[in-house]
Structure 1
Amino acid sequence: MKNTPYFERTPFFFDQNHFRMRLADGKAIAIFKDALHAAKVNFDRRFREGEDIRTLVYEQAHFVDFLLHYAWHQFHWQGSVCLIAVGGYGRGELHPASDIDLLFLHQEQLPQADLEAIEGFFTFLWDIGLDIGHSVRTLAQCVEIAAQDITVATNILESRTLMGDGQLRDELLALTGPDKIWPPDAFFKAKFQEQQERHAKHDNSSNNLEPNVKNAPGGLRDIQMIGWVAKRFFNVRTIRQLEGRGFFTEEEFAILLTGEEFLWRVRYGLHMLAKRGEERLLFDHQRELATLFGYKDTPERLAIEQFMHRYYRIVQALQELNDVLLQFLSEAILQAGQQQNVEPINARFQLRNGFIEAAYTRVFEDDPSALLEIFVLMGKDKRILGVRASTIRLIRECRHLIDDEFRKDPDNTALFMDLMRSPYSLVRQLKRMKRYGILGRYLPEFDRITGQMQHDLFHIYTVDEHTLLVMKNMRRFRLPYAQEKYPVAHHIMKRLEKPELLYIAGLFHDIAKGRGGDHSMLGKVDAEAFCERHGLTGRETRLVSWLVEMHLLMSAVSQKQDISDPDVIHKFALLVGDQLRLDYLYLLTVADINGTNPDLWNTWRASLMRQLYLETKRALRRGLENPIDRQDIILETQQAAIRKLEDKNFSESRIRTLWGDMGDDYFLRESHLDIAWHTEAIACHRSDEPLVLIRQSRFNGMEGATQIFVRTKDRDNVFAAAANALSGLDLDIQDARLYSSPDGYTIDTFFVLDENGEPTHHDRFDIIRRTLHDELSLVDKYPDIIQRRTPRVLKHFAMPSRTMISNDLLAGTTVLEVISPDRPGLLAAIGRVFLSFGIQLQNAKIATLGERVEDIFFITDSEGQPLSDAAQCEALQVSICKALDDIVGQHS
């Protein structure tokens, strides 16, 4: 038995004699179902106990082979037919919920009895619970389809005979071989195009928060891709048969096998936990898989972060391997027989048919600086298409030469700065350096963030992926298309004297993530050391380190503070200091927001950033010693609004009467156009019913959001009702401005975006008005808050809600900041808590950052005074956190 080939052995848990005896008694469907269930229990137990994953994957396929054998014999076959396994099952691999792909191959004419048997056979397989993918074709049909469809040709390449006339499959293989259809060059081009399209669907990144184990870059498909092309070219059945043929190095073969085993374990666990063919590593399963893989939380890192860090590291190694081997195959297949056009670059490198290569094999050993020089050369010459496979291997073999002495060498620091000034494809070179293991060795601090997960919904990429994406965004600001999407950034970038300083700040802004402590301060120290080592001037070093330290400042001010307040602008301008820093900080902030989560950048956030930039620019031009007077702004706004209203036959005395004793904040925060719009509507509104106005906002000349103005009698829970109504319409509140008028009314302005992050269409204005009227009519007997279902992803983040509270003595309010996952009904829930504590909401600053909110509420007690009771403040904070955290538990 020891010498029996694996696939000829019966699975040890499957008692064929007992199975046959039961079949003799009838009730075949129930017997097959029992066998499948018993096998599933057996395989799952062994997986949890840590059995070798290859044994489980192969044995599952082998077990299904036996079931199909017995299912086949439940029917009578007369003609020449063949049952063939294709796809992954054709390779003899099967995960718990993988499709079992079958091809029924037959001669041109089949007896009616066989046609009925085929239909009955597949019906039987479905009835017993097998996930079958099937096709029934003649030999001629298979050849015709395979010639047109690369996927079908690939499936045939990996097929094996299960039952019936095996000669049919032999004929099929002969008719679809590389000498008949899809010769190696055409096959390679088609599969490579297929891979590029697949990678594009996953943003060309393996480092997404919920990666696809099968299809994302570095996933199982990339391993299979290598196998398919290599098998076609070398005419072998399995990758193992390529060992010793010069295709793999020993190290590469080890990376391939260990990477495949790890991803198989992950995929097996996913299928087992999801009870379906799930290929995405969802948050639902990451924590469970981390436990299954033996990871435990530590004070430094969560088990889930350790598990995902290993995952990202492995898929990165597989990406690198895919890059090398496909380049090798490209040279062997596509360039075979081509005239070799070799052009010397310098003594160390030459260009061969568009790809750079080492001029001789010892180039990196003789001159380790060449490990950086090769990327500098590619950044300077856009003709260079890539690196030849043989040279990639040399780079990997010699990267150990990068040590402390190498990093301190002035020649090498000069080369790295040359790279940062590259006219072409800087980020592409940095990505190559990362894949080939050069960037992490030259910058050990970058190596520490490689594959580091950020376990929140604010960031959707690992730290290293995010960092390179931020730098890519910076480079994009130079392109013509950015003039429309990022007009301010495009304008600044075109006249930026030293963009390399911006790129260095981008490279270091998150470099200290995951070390504990303030990553901005820790990163500042790293940035200073880098700048000094790389010969930057003192002024340049101070600029870069300041940018790293302050990289969150502009985003925080624009989203959390009232940027219509001249005092806020003045304080921000004092922190910035000069126009140069403002320009660099604006570019870094916009690139960072877009590189954190593409959904964060919308018209509203763009308008806030633009307003903060322009107002600060004016403050700097005016001089920091000449801050603008608040009363001057209020007077200018009032006079402009009066002129607008006088054009519509309003007298100034009537206007002043309508305004009454409206506070300064109203005239500071609202534009004269909006004030005129409000005032005219209030004058014409002769009803106690709520007044609701809606239009698209024009924020500093840019469309930012949909603007909703609500005036209603000042009663408890107005804010909660309005927030709940807007939430029910899938409108996200971006900002809320709340004012109490002296005549007993509350005046609220909401700026909202739809679920796509865009101003809502005017066709929805009527339903928004009706919904707000209906909800506000219930304020006096307001029911319990109605919530929508909590999104799936929010349930898997341990970050609880948290609050901070302080008193603003100048404004006469208490400032409450709430940081929480963006739960449905969040603002309405907070409003209910305020009601229960007798809290009056004076104002609010709403900031939704992806799936996280950082909202600031300006509140007073029922007498309009700041909260002074410490016990009440603590109870308020505890109640808000509990109310928000309970939403997930009650509605998930």
Structure 2
Amino acid sequence: MQSLTAAPARNVAAFRQALQEGAERLKKRFGDDEPVERLVRDRACLVDTLLKSAWTLHVGEYAQEVALIAVGGYGRGELNLCSDIDLMILMPKSAAWPWQSRIEQFLAFTWDIGLEIGHSVRTIDDCQRECAADVSVATTLIEARLLTGPQALFEAMRRALAPARVWPTREFFEAKVAEQAGRHRRYHDTAYNLEPNVKSSPGGLRDIQTIGWVAKRHFGAESLDELVDHGFLTRAELRKLKTAQAFLWKVRFALHVLTNRREDRLLFDHQIRLAAMFGYEDATYTLAVEQFMQRYYRTAMDVSLLNEMLLQLFREAILSAPNSAPRPVNARFQIRNDFLEISSEDVFDRYPSALLELFVITGQHPEIHGVCAQTVRQVTRHLWLIDEEFRQHPRNHRLFFEVLSAPTGVTHELRRMNLYGVLGRYIPTFGRIVGRMQYDLFHAYTVDAHTLFVVSNLRRMAMPKYDHELPQLSRVMQSLEQPELAYMAALFHDIAKGRGGDHSELGAVDAEAFCLEQGLSRYDARLVAWLVRHHLVLSVTAQKKDISAPHVVHEFARLVGDQTHLDYLYVLTVADIRGTNPKLWNNWKASLFAEFYERVRQALRRGLERPIDQEELIAEIQARAHELAARENLDEAILQSVWRHFTDAYFLRHTPGEIIWHTRMLAGRAAGDTSALISVQQQSGRGGTGISTYTPQSQHSFARTTAQLDQLGLNIVDARITPMADGFSLDVYHVLEDTGAAITDTARILDIEQKLTRALERRDDDDAPVNRRTPRQVRMFSTPTQISFSEDPDNQRTILELIAGDRPGLLSRVARVFMAQHIDVHASKIMTVGERAEDVFYVADESGRPLSEEALGRLSLGLHKALDNDA
């Protein structure tokens, strides 16, 4: 670096070269697997050298009057490869600043050479004032480090910012805990998102830094090691914390190497490449990327536990009244300063069941704010006591079910059990899914986090104060005699993920065995196992099958057998979907599931030996439509005039509300009019926006309609194409905005009507291409096109099931193949599962018959050709 100090002022090339060469050496050392702790500190040393040299060159004669100070992470002497560099220029009190232009030249120079500098220029009074106003400013200055300039000025600043002057320890601690809680909420209070932020997500580097900030403010501790000397960490805990920090640093450093920029998000784009960089390989049932991410999530879990424990220790040292008297709960536990603690150090040795009793007590006493840190430490030290003998003891069975059946706090205590490691020890199969992720866009959380979200959703249905969220489901849930059986099914429904085979079948075996071991009756154990085995069936049936068909309803009624099984399955299914991905649940799905549940419930009331037939169902639907028409003052003559064009298939597929909608739509249509007719129902009875088109069958409007709706950015969730007796086709599309909401903007509806009208009135065969871009996350996955056919003999049609990579224009591509091969679409069920489209089409040939073997072959070939070339 001698050449830098000797270089002419503003020798940008020399500095830039030094910076680039230093970065390349660090990348090489990273590739050689050198400890990342050295790399982040050596990066800081390199920047120190460059900045000091640049300061000398530009500030020169004023270098001993003004201080150049590193703050924030750079102040700690830790810099990642592309991290921001935070500086503060500290000036003495002075009315005139003769060095101002020199400082401006220095800052411009740092940007010219490739350093991303964040800077502030302050006096000591400025520092004190801004620290007092903002705890984040105070935090960055707590870590201040003098690079060059007068030591006395730097020390004066530190004295001015001492706890006695600004942000006393108590206030600082409370502010940082609140700040952390707010940050965690921005990440949904979980480290287990699909694309976590290594720095800011719960369990990330910021949680470790929060510990350091509080320790420095209260104890003056300069490193985590000093917490051992103060008695706040054991040597083993310090090793675990530093190991976690090193792993997170390594992940962050690798992200910077891959992207050549400051990047803290573990995006899908990077996860596979990072897994390869870290040496992971695909195994029989687990991808390399899933193994890597499980290591990440388990590291985040370690950090979260240590963060909770240390902040609680700090709370006791900083906020709690010294020597406050404990309040006994029983012989084993007491409450001190609103936190639960064991009454003596040997409680768990003498009474291992206290490892479960702890969670019963915290659930029963809402006034308890948490578990004291020393007790958490004792829990983690005694996890080895939860062995097979412990799991077989009737007392522990009773305690576990007390946790599940508590009136409040069930989810909170299960999450606490998981964080402390107790849940995975008591249910060993659960321990295997902790931190396990699935590399797709459908499952937004790790398996264990998702499982506990499902329990949480069930709990909300069980509590009257949340009745407004899902009124019907809340009524069903609160009518269950044993809601804890639903929680048990939730705990086991995905417990066999990652083992190979059908996770529902494997999980059902595990669930029944566990329930019998816990002392449940054989009926209850079999009910839980049945729920685990069939937890996907209701969702798949409602979203992929034609639930208007009486035989579909009857078959499902035979599967569930009775109202009890249906009720348990209904609430579990909805809780599962809502806990899989926050974007999956919407009013459309709520309406769809409620409609199917009601149809199956009615079938069970009739009796499985007396299934409803088609004529009887049509008569019921028409009778309800007549009642609705009378309330809306629709003349019977109008009904008869319009309904003579409706077929039996039409009445089976549409609700009475839709029938009246279409009756009004067609009532004033002149005879012989062949123009396209479009009607948009802003809030359909099915929870979305309904769009009806009435066109001659010869126009094959399905292709043009789906292309136009896709281009408009609408998600088509259901399509029903019904040939009328007059040669027209009455098609109904239920659509949602990308957010999952119905369309509420009147101008948006008008735009849809106008564009759809123009699209359907075009006479040429070439449809406008859909040119919306495929989302970034979806582009990361390659889903091979899968096509299967089956027969629907009751309705004389062929069922086509298509799995393909989701992308804009997919549905219109499929529709164009149908049009080219003269295939009529009678209905479609559109289902997007993360990055995959899983769509079902009910089709027939032009004569209304199921497709022949030859036609099936042509259709399969045509679809592969249309979809595989640009997948």
Which residue in 2 is equivalent to 1:720? 703
The structure 1 residue matched to 2:731, chosen from 748, 751, 763, is: 748
User: Per-residue deviation at 1:784?
Assistant: 5.9
Matched residue, 1:803: 787
Instruction: Give 1:139's aligned residue.
Output: 124
Secondary structure of 1:535's aligned partner:
coil
- Do 2:710 and 2:770's aligned partners in 1 also have CA atoms closer than 8 Å? no
Q: CA deviation at 1:379?
A: 1.6
Question: Which residue in the other structure is 1:13 paired with?
Answer: none
CA contact (8 A) 1:785 1:829 kept: no
- One of 185, 207, 231 as aligned partner of 1:222: 207
The answer to whether structure 1 residue 355 and structure 2 residue 339 are counterparts is: yes
Query: Which 5+ residue runs of structure 1 have no aligned equivalent?
Result: 1-15
Cα offset for 1:658?
A: 4.4
Partner of 1:524: 508
Aligned residue for 1:158? 143
Of 696, 711, 714 in structure 1, the residue corresponding to residue 694 of structure 2 is 711
CA–CA separation in structure 2 for the residues paired with 1:603 and 1:541: 33
1:810-838 Cα distance to aligned partner (Å, 9 max, x none): 22111111123431111111112223333
In structure 2, give the amino acid aligned to 1:690.
Answer: A
Structure 2 counterpart of 1:121, from 103, 106, 109: 106
Sort the Cα spacing of 1:239 and 1:707 in 2 relative to 1 into closer, same or farther, 3 A: same
Query: Which residue of the other structure, out of 790, 796, 801, is the alignment partner of 1:817?
Result: 801
Aligned to 2:175: 190
> Once structures 1 and 2 are overlaid, which stretch shifts more, 193-202 or 496-505?
496-505
Over 3 Å counting, the alpha-carbon distance change for 1:641 and 1:405 in structure 2 is closer
- Structure 1 residue 190, shift from structure 2 partner: 0.8
Does the CA contact (< 8 Å) of 2:719 and 2:827 recur in 1? yes
Change beyond 3 A, Cα 1:439–1:650: closer
Q: Secondary structure at the match of 1:803?
A: strand
State percent identity of aligned pairs: 45
Determine if contact 2:67/2:146 at 8 Å carries over to the other structure. yes
Following TM superposition, by how much is the alpha carbon of 1:371 offset from its aligned partner in structure 2, in angstroms?
1.0
Q: Secondary structure at the match of 1:704?
A: coil
> Displacement of 1:426 after TM fit?
1.2
- Cα 1:830–1:367 shift into 2, 3 Å: same
1:66-109 Cα deviation digits (max 9, x unpaired) = 11011112223437210000000000111122110000100121
Aligned to 1:201: 186
Contact 2:391–2:397, Cα closer than 8 Å, also in 1: yes
Q: Give the one of 663, 674, 681 matched to 1:688.
A: 674
The number of equivalent residue pairs is: 865
The aligned residue for residue 856 of structure 2 is 873
Q: Does 1:394 align with 2:378?
A: yes
Structure 2 CA distance for partners of 1:591 and 1:875, relative to 1, 3 Å: same
Letter in 2 for 1:460: A
Change (3 A) 1:713 1:156: same
User: 2-side partners of 1:717 and 1:62: how far apart?
Assistant: 69
Aligned to 1:448: 432
Q: Sort the Cα spacing of 1:642 and 1:541 in 2 relative to 1 into closer, same or farther, 3 A.
A: closer
> Measured at CA, do residues 680 and 476 of structure 1 come closer, stay the same or move farther in structure 2, by a change above 3 Å?
closer
Shift of 1:715: 3.0
In structure 2, C-alpha distance between the alignment counterparts of 1:801 and 1:381, rounded to whole Å: 54
1:715-794 equivalent positions in 2, closer than 5 A: 715=698, 717-761=700-744, 762-778=746-762, 780-783=764-767, 785-794=769-778
- CA distance in 2 between partners of 1:524 and 1:485 (Å): 30
Q: Secondary structure at the match of 2:284?
A: coil
Amino acid at match of 1:877: S
Deviations along 1:714-744, one digit per CA (max 9) or x if unpaired, are 2354211101111111111111000122333
Q: Aligned to 1:289, which of 274, 292, 311?
A: 274
Q: 2:47 aligns with which of 64, 67, 73?
A: 64
- Equivalent residues of 2:442, 2:833 under 8 A apart: yes
Structure 2 CA distance for partners of 1:28 and 1:45, relative to 1, 3 Å: same
The answer on 1:407 being equivalent to 2:384 is: no
1:576 to 554, 560, 565: 560
Please point out which of 125, 150, 169 is paired with 2:154.
Answer: 169
Aligned position for 2:24: 41
- Residue in structure 2 matched with residue 596 of structure 1 by the alignment: 580
- Tell me the TM-score normalized by structure 2: 0.96
Give the match's secondary structure for 2:382.
helix
1:859 aligns with 2:843: yes
Helix, strand or coil for the counterpart of 2:552?
Answer: helix
Once the two structures are superposed, residues 324-356 of structure 1 have per-residue CA deviations (whole angstroms, 9 ceiling, x without a partner) of 11111111111153x513111222111112211
Task: Give the Cα separation in 1 of the matches to 2:627 and 2:490.
Answer: 47
Match of residue 93, structure 2, among 89, 108, 129? 108
Displacement, 1:791?
0.4
Contact 2:441-2:833 at 8 Å conserved across structures: no
Equivalent of 1:130 in 115, 120, 123: 115
Contact 2:707/2:767 (<8 A) preserved: no
User: Is 1:211 matched with 2:196?
Assistant: yes
Distance between the aligned counterparts of 2:588 and 2:106, measured in 1?
Answer: 59
Which of 65, 83, 108 does residue 80 from structure 1 map onto?
Answer: 65
Tell me the residue number matched to 2:529: 545
Q: Per-residue deviation at 1:642?
A: 6.1
In 2: Cα distance, 1:349 partner to 1:672 partner:
61
In 1, Cα distance between equivalents of 2:80 and 2:484 = 49
- Cα distance in 2 for partners of 1:227, 1:461 equals 29
Give the TM-score, by structure 1 length: 0.94
Out of 619, 622, 643, which is 1:635 matched to? 619
The correspondence for 2:133, drawn from 124, 148, 152, is 148
C-alpha distance in structure 1 between counterparts of 2:121 and 2:818, whole Å: 67
Number of the residue aligned with 2:569: 585
Moved more, 157-166 or 708-717: 708-717
How far the C-alpha of 1:881 sits from its partner, in A, is: 4.5
1:834 is matched with 818
**Letter aligned with residue 759 of structure 1:** A
1:695/1:648 CA distance change after superposition, 3 Å: same
Q: Residue type matched to 2:317 in 1? A: A
1:92 is paired with a residue whose SS is: coil
Which residue number in structure 2 is paired with residue 625 of structure 1? Answer: 609
Going from structure 1 to structure 2, the CA distance change for 1:609 and 1:77 (only over 3 Å counts) comes to farther
Give the superposition deviation at 1:27.
5.7
Q: How far did residue 110 of structure 1 move?
A: 5.9
Matched residue, 1:6: none
Q: Tell me, in whole angstroms, the C-alpha distance in 2 between the residues paired with 1:38 and 1:778.
A: 62
Cα-Cα RMSD: 2.0
Tell whether the 8 Å contact from 2:550 to 2:612 is kept in structure 1 after alignment: yes
* Alignment partner of 1:420 is 2:404: yes
Q: 1:277 aligns with which of 253, 256, 262?
A: 262
Contact kept, 8 Å, 1:96 with 1:268, in 2: the verdict is yes
Distance 1:446 1:881, change over 3 A: farther
Deviation, 1:370, is 1.2
Distance 1:447 1:162, change over 3 A: same
- 1:848 has 2:820 as partner: no
Give 1:508's aligned residue: 492
1:266, distance to aligned residue in structure 2 (A): 0.5
**Alignment deviations for residues 282-341 of structure 1 (CA, whole Å, 9 cap, x no partner):** 00111111111111122221111111011111111111111111111111111153x513
- The letter of the residue matching 1:764 is R
Whole-angstrom distance in 1 between the partners of 2:82 and 2:365 = 49
Q: Which deviates further from its counterpart, 81-90 or 740-749?
A: 740-749
Contact 1:715 1:779 in 2 (8 A): no
1:429-440 map, 5 Å? 429-440=413-424
Q: What is the identity, as a one-letter code, of the residue corresponding to 2:431?
A: D
Asked whether the 8 Å contact 1:524–1:549 carries over to 2, the reply is yes
